Amino acid sequence: MSVERPPEPWRSPWLWATVVLALVLRLPRLANRWDEVALAYSAYAAPASEALWAGRPGDAVAAWVGLHPPLHALLLAVLDGVWPAPALWIVLSIGCSLGAVLVVGRHAGPVAALVLASAPLQLQDAAEVNNYPLAVFGVALLVATRRLAWPWFLLGVGLASWGHVLGLASAGVVSAHRLVWPVDTRERWQVGGGAALLAAPVVVGAARLAGQSSTFAQPAPDWGAWLELVAGATGVEGLVLMPLVVLGLVWCRGGHSAAWAGVAGTYCLALWVGAAAAHQRPYLGLLGPPAAVAVAMLVGRARMPSVRVGLTLLVVGVCVVRSARAGWAELDTVRAIQADLSEERGVDLALHQSGPGDVVWLVAPALRADDDKSDHSAVLWRLSPWSAMPRATVDHPAFAFTDWLWGQPRWMDGRVVHTSTELDPGRFDVVVARAHADGQRVVVVLYDHAPATGLADRVERAVRVYGPAAHVVPRDPGLGDDYVWVLSPPDPTRARR
């Protein structure tokens, strides 16, 4: 198989215009995804970070996040070691999402870049503090480097494999696809041996997880609901493009078809055996790069100029419409955050009532599943995501940063801030005792709680023993008022009921 040289300088104005569009569509996500969920997701990187900075690289590499290889967690660990600002976590993901657009566009042209740049699934996941944008970038690089010299190809294999298990499967299929072409013995050893060495640690980790019964504990898929989810996730415009994707995969067979088959086949198998759940929409995003290349290949190989022009106009029109729709929705969310910041909230009172070293515990329920990435919160925007927010600890043998009931504490603006969807009395008592022993206040804020039946009563019972000074900040009647409790040292004559 002949190989191509690395790409020459990227000079296409249409490609760069598409990359600028991709950046414009993704930047609002930086604002809209700085919320409590971002903090919760970042906690998954704690085991890898602790092992890495403790000088245990073997443990760091073995620190998988659920079914996900540790590369993203290791990158977050490095960022936290340099400057633990949440904005950098989000910028890392946006950079990966933009990188996927650029790589796909340089490989298959501006049409492919435009399809990926405007895809709803890519936009929804572009700023997530998890491994999906990195995994999409890995799959994009895998597709784009399939016919390049072996060092470039192995770079794609490594990123795809270490980004996600589905990327590992895609790397395996694409590697096999490359090796079935006539190649000399040296290249066969370089490509096959290099890919095997890069993927081996991930294969070992995946095999270890496959031996655990909990790996296959997801409910049996409802295929009708799953198809409805796919249709909703891609949108009307995506459904228009879907026939072009299918034709491009079948008619223009190549590395993109192999990558798509690797992701899709493994994903369906994972659904079937219960390793993945049908509602976990982000898995679908890994199909984006090969699908975008398939559309571009179909358009570019149309023999009749009129058909080529017609297909190009159709694809561009669809992408412009969905870009406008997505951009307007993101701006609406930005405006909602700005409006919230102009009002007094319970968190404002808590920050005013607390000082350096004090503990602030923010409690808010998860009002909707985070799979569609449509929720947002302005509460944490009272604290700049560009500021350093290193992890804090609780002096207790049972404390684990990844245990969300401890509130995953971080130092923010001189305070130790916990965030959780519940207030566990046992863990809360430990935190309060440590703070009061050091002469620090503890301020609890409950907000956006009305839809969560009984949450206000549970939090009130947890704080009652401390005889707190209670404050109410009137709010939206649908979400409930904000409650703020400033805790004084406990009165032993009171008992929690």
Q: What is the DSSP string of 274-335?
A: TSS-TT-GGGGGGGHHHHHHHHHHHHHT-SSHHHHHHHHHHHHHHHHHHHHHHHHHHHHHHH
Q: Which of 127, 118, 108, 109 is nearest to 29 (CA)?
A: 127
Is-contact 326 21, C-beta < 8 A? Answer: no
Residues 328 and 360 in one domain: no
The residue to which tokens 């079935």 are assigned? 180
Cα separation, 472 vs 469, whole angstroms: 10
The pLDDT of residue 180 is 82
Average pLDDT, the chain: 90
Shared domain for 152 and 30, answered yes or no, is: yes
In a domain, 114, yes or no: yes
Domain shared by 392 and 329, yes or no: no
Give yes or no: residues 140 and 242 share one domain.
yes
| Same-domain status, 249 and 268 | yes
Q: What is the pLDDT of residue 497?
A: 46
* 3-state class (DSSP) for residue 164: coil
pLDDT in tens, 428-462: 999 999 999 999 999 999 999 999 999 999 999 99
Edge-to-edge strands of the sheet including 410-412?
410-412, 415-420, 359-363, 442-446, 482-487, 469-473
More confident residue, 461 or 184: 461
Same-domain pairing of 458 and 369: yes
Main-chain phi, psi angles of 412, to 5 degrees: -135, 120
273 and 363 inside one domain: no
Tell me: pLDDT of 341 over 90.
yes
In a domain, 494, yes or no: no
Instruction: State the CB neighbour count (10 A cutoff) for residue 52.
Output: 22
Query: What percent of the chain has a predicted confidence (pLDDT) above 90?
Result: 71
Whether 424 shows a pLDDT value over 50: the answer reads: yes
Those residues whose C-beta lies under 8 Å from the C-beta of residue 188, and which sit 6 or more positions away, are 179
Among 81-85, 121-125, 215-219, the least confident range: 215-219
* Residue 308 placed within a domain: yes
Q: Which domain holds residue 289?
A: 13-334
Whether residue 376 is contained in a domain is answered as yes
Domain boundary among 334, 355, 390: 334
For residue 339, being part of any structural domain is answered with no
pLDDT of 2 reads: 46
Domain boundary (306, 334, 362) is at 334
Residue 220 DSSP one-character state: P
- Strand ranges in 169-249 using DSSP code E only, listed in sequence order: none
Beta-carbon neighbour count of residue 294 at 10 Å? 31
Q: Are residues 297 and 441 in the same domain?
A: no
**Alpha carbon distance 487, 310 (integer Å):** 68
The domain tally of the chain equals 2
Burial of 208-219, coded b for 16+ CB within 10 Å and e otherwise, reads ebeeeeebeebe
Are the beta carbons of 280 and 371 closer than 8 angstroms? Answer: yes
* 100, containing H or E segment: helix 86-108
Mean pLDDT, residues 23-48 taken together: 93
Mean pLDDT across the stretch 194-209? 92
Residues 6+ apart with CB under 8 A from 437: none
Among 334, 362, 394, the domain boundary falls at 334
And the tokens for 203? Answer: 């294969």
Same domain flag for 447 and 352: yes
Q: How far is CA 11 from the centre of its chain?
A: 31
pLDDT of residue 478: 86
Q: Identify the CA nearest to 231 among candidates 371, 120, 139.
A: 120
Asked if the structure places residue 496 within a domain, the reply is no
**Mean local confidence (pLDDT), 346-365:** 96
Whole-prediction pTM value? 0.93
In the chain, the amino acid numbered 269 is L
Q: Could you tell me if residue 454 is inside a domain?
A: yes
The closest of 481, 454, 455 to 470, measured between CA atoms, is 481
pLDDT value of position 494: 52
Q: How do 442-446 and 482-487 pair as beta strands?
A: antiparallel
In a domain, 493, yes or no: no
Does residue 235 contact residue 284 with C-beta atoms inside 8 Å?
A: no
Lowest mean pLDDT among 20-34, 217-231, 436-450: 217-231
How sure is the predictor about 302, in pLDDT bands with cuts at 50, 70 and 90?
Answer: confident
Q: Out of 187-191, 199-203, 266-270, 309-313, which region has the weakest mean confidence (pLDDT)?
A: 187-191
At position 111, the amino acid (one-letter code) is: V
Helix, strand, coil proportions of the chain in percent (round to 5)?
A: 65, 5, 30
Based on the fold, state whether residues 321 and 417 are members of the same structural domain. Answer: no
Q: Do 198 and 158 meet the contact criterion of CB atoms below 8 Å apart?
A: yes
Q: Are 44 and 73 in contact (CB under 8 A)?
A: yes
Mean pLDDT of 231-245: 90
Name the E strands within 39-192.
none
No. of H helices and E strands in the chain? Answer: 20, 6
Residues counted in the chain: 497
With bands split at pLDDT 50, 70 and 90, how would you rate the model's confidence at 255?
confident
328 and 389 share one domain: no
Residues 50 and 125 in one domain: yes
Give long-range contacts, CB 8 A cutoff, 24+ apart: 477-481: 477/450, 478/450, 478/451, 479/447, 479/448, 479/449, 479/450, 479/451, 480/447, 480/448, 480/449, 480/450, 480/456
What's the average model confidence in pLDDT over 116-130? 95
